[in-house]
Structure 1
Amino acid sequence: MAANSHFQGWVAHDPSAADGNMNWGSYTPKTFEESDVEMEISHCGVCGSDIHSLRSGWGPSDYPLVVGHEIIGRVTRVGKDVKDLKVGDRVGVGAQSECCESCRPCKMLQESNCNRMTMTYNSKHSNGDKSYGGYAKSWRGPASFAIPIPDGLLSEFAAPLMCGGVTVYSPLVSNGAGPGKRIGVVGVGGLGHFALLFAKALKCHEIVAISRSSSKKEDAIKLGADKFIATGEDPEWMTKNANSLDLIISTISGSFPLDQYLQLLDVNGTFVQLGAPDDPLPSFSPLGLIFKNLKIAGSLIGTRQHIRDMLELAKETNLQAWVQVRPMEEANQVLVDFEKGLPRYRYVLKN
């Protein structure tokens, strides 16, 4: 395949694309280098970040744009410098597709916080070329971020793990989730459902789902929750559940009363924020932190080792994401349905 050949995919030309106005067409992928691979895409998960980027919600996007960073496919071309992948291998690519390898985070094997990272779309590769994502037929990029998918793990389950899954797996394992730990998950949506699944897979002592209403209580219990808190239905929820958790994973992107959630943490507890609210969080009293030695943290995605470990755990525990597979041709309608809050709990596009 020629180095400057065109790929076919769903191309966004302006912010209206987020409303289901992407156009199927051609685009020029990254120039092929000997450290790269190409893959024929079979599946691509749909992430909330896709819609934010299509809409220029986190700042002006670099149109034309092809989104999608939960990509699974078969390798069709391998550069001469690639030693650990071959044509035919099934691989996945997540939200990051390149790192600088020289900054302090990279040297600490924490490349998901690289100072000059390349995101899988709406970003620039080290050679200056634009990065394009997985709402497409093919993907081309650095082999070092194409992770082999274990045999026995279905592609429709593996796809959303590449971003949504590792985004919760990373802070869980980094903050000691496991036997004896009491875990709270705020928000039962795409990320929240993964947090419940992985907390269960990690054999946490108690898993508590936290949501405004009890509409998703039945789902949360099926996903692994031992207990459910509906904050909008019980004015005493804070006092009834005070000091009951060691770790809270917050997946919600709207504003929320941080002070109230901190009351749920026991001594030495940690609150980790994953969702990215458009507005700042309300102020909170530092006394709550001081008196219980609490920590407030954030977490982005996950390292390549996190992804490898997560995929193995998913295989070993037969972890099955709650996915709805839709044809790639329906990508525009899928965006509309996503915005309506219809997925239970992740859409996956299939070629």
Structure 2
Amino acid sequence: MSTATEPVFKGWAGLDAKACQGNLDFQSFEPKKWDEDDVDVKILYCGICGSDASALSGEWGPVDGVCPQVCGHEIVGEVVKVGSSPENGLKVGQMVGIGAQCDSCRECVDCKNHEEQCCPKMVITFNSPFARGNGKGSISRGGFAKYWRGPSRFAVPIPDELDPALAAPLMCGGITVFNPLEHYGAGTKAKNIGIVGVGGLGHMAILFASAMGAKVTAISRSEAKKEDAIKLGATGYIATGDDLQAAFAAHARSFDLIICTSNPPEFPIADYIPLLRPRGVFCFVGIVPKPLEFGLFPLVMSSAHIAGSNIGNPDGIARMLKFVVEKNIKPWIQRWDMDEINKAMPSFVNGDPRYRFVLVNTDNGGKM
């Protein structure tokens, strides 16, 4: 085992459902118990994701009466401690990123096929119990903190050519859209792609799909984000307004693939199916709470598919980071000092990001 310093684990914890209103509490916490495939990481940057707000506001379950929730799962930092059996060849001093998953069972078919994001025992990067090794039963703690500890398999090396602050939102938001774009052949099999929602995930989906060689159309409720969408690489834009059928009338059978990055309370999927070309795919990456309602006849007649896509595995994250460097892709971020997290979270919930907030631990060496 090698170590450069002994970390002190402190972070901003949610104690009740008012946490997102600027009530996160800075406190010490216990990391997972050490395993020899673990690493400790000095956190420099951490993106804020909608999942963090959902957890801290009680949408995913009670916040009160449970262990303090240290969220954050778009982590980038420097390795400061390495066990005796690290994966990825990690060494002290290396820059790594950790996304929404921090462990898996390592034994199921999906894990053995390097599809850990499909593991039925996947461990989320915050508020999730570890299920193996010395750390079994320990609760995962996320990146709204000074240090992170977890399995080295899920700490992905950051290329030297990539600004680590820009890498942070890629660790969850980026891979969430890169994964289905890669899987469904953006730019090759899927030459015409629609992106529903121009936000944290949507703006990265436009960047990726355009860089992959696809013709990209952004789909949003109003004209407000049209200029941004064009700057990001979209060549088309549909403002749906309140009448989707009228807005979509001229675009029937236009898209090989549509990625939905928004997560409204309900989603009118029946209005979107006619946009698909035969054998086209409509893929959700955002969670819509209300069950979908649609007739099967249009789906069957066009041999279309409705799908969902999870985050990607560590190998996919590594491919994405390489692609980002090759294509010089730069997510649009706004940096906040992590000490100002109780101002950043309410601003995030208010919908202010254009298009991703990144928290910076300046005392650890992060750059504003």
TM over 0.5: yes
The Cα offsets for residues 179-215 of structure 1, whole Å up to 9 and x where unpaired, read as 46100000001000010000011111x1000001010
2:113 to 96, 100, 108: 108
| Secondary structure, aligned partner of 1:214 | coil
| Secondary structure, aligned partner of 2:224 | helix
| 1:119 counterpart = 2:134 | no
Equivalent residue number for residue 264 of structure 1 = 275
Equivalent residue number for residue 219 of structure 2 = 210
| 1:50 counterpart = 2:52 | yes
Equivalent residue number for residue 85 of structure 2 = 81
- Give the distance between the partners of 1:38 and 1:6, measured in 2 at CA: 10
| 1:72 counterpart = 2:76 | yes
Does the CA-based 8 Å contact 2:32-2:139 persist in structure 1? yes
Shift of 1:238: 1.8
Does the CA-based 8 Å contact 2:7-2:147 persist in structure 1? no
Equivalent residue number for residue 147 of structure 1 = 156
Mapping for residues 252-331 of structure 1, pairs under 5 Å? 252-254=262-264, 255-281=266-292, 283-331=293-341
Shift of 1:109: 1.8
- Give the distance between the partners of 1:94 and 1:141, measured in 2 at CA: 11
170-179 or 142-151, which moves further after superposition?
170-179
Shift of 1:280: 2.4
Kindly tell me the number of residue pairs found equivalent between the two proteins.
347
| 1:188 counterpart = 2:198 | yes
The Cα offsets for residues 274-323 of structure 1, whole Å up to 9 and x where unpaired, read as 11123223x11111111100000001111111100000000111100000
- Give the distance between the partners of 1:152 and 1:192, measured in 2 at CA: 24
| Secondary structure, aligned partner of 1:236 | helix
| Secondary structure, aligned partner of 1:185 | strand
Shift of 1:233: 6.7
1:132 to 125, 137, 141: 141
Does the CA-based 8 Å contact 1:208-1:227 persist in structure 2? yes
The Cα offsets for residues 34-73 of structure 1, whole Å up to 9 and x where unpaired, read as 1100011000000000010112212235431100000000
Q: Which runs of 5+ in 1 are unaligned?
A: none
Equivalent residue number for residue 335 of structure 1 = 345
Q: Which runs of 5+ in 2 are unaligned?
A: 362-368
- Give the distance between the partners of 1:124 and 1:92, measured in 2 at CA: 20
Shift of 1:5: 7.4
- Give the distance between the partners of 2:242 and 2:230, measured in 1 at CA: 18
| Secondary structure, aligned partner of 2:225 | helix
Equivalent residue number for residue 365 of structure 2 = none
- Give the distance between the partners of 2:317 and 2:30, measured in 1 at CA: 28
- Give the distance between the partners of 2:104 and 2:284, measured in 1 at CA: 24
267-276 or 5-14, which moves further after superposition?
5-14
Does the CA-based 8 Å contact 1:96-1:120 persist in structure 2? yes
Shift of 1:6: 5.0
Regions of 4+ moved over 4 Å: none
Pair 1:156–1:200, CA change in 2 (3 A): same
Does the CA-based 8 Å contact 1:201-1:317 persist in structure 2? yes
**Normalization by structure 2: what TM-score?**
0.92
Equivalent residue number for residue 366 of structure 2 = none
Equivalent residue number for residue 26 of structure 1 = 28
Please provide the CA RMSD for this pair.
1.5
The Cα offsets for residues 162-194 of structure 1, whole Å up to 9 and x where unpaired, read as 000000000111111124610000000100001
| Secondary structure, aligned partner of 1:344 | coil
**Normalization by structure 1: what TM-score?**
0.96
| Secondary structure, aligned partner of 1:271 | strand
| Secondary structure, aligned partner of 1:263 | helix
Does the CA-based 8 Å contact 1:326-1:347 persist in structure 2? yes
184-193 or 256-265, which moves further after superposition?
256-265
- Give the distance between the partners of 1:67 and 1:277, measured in 2 at CA: 22
Does the CA-based 8 Å contact 1:76-1:88 persist in structure 2? yes
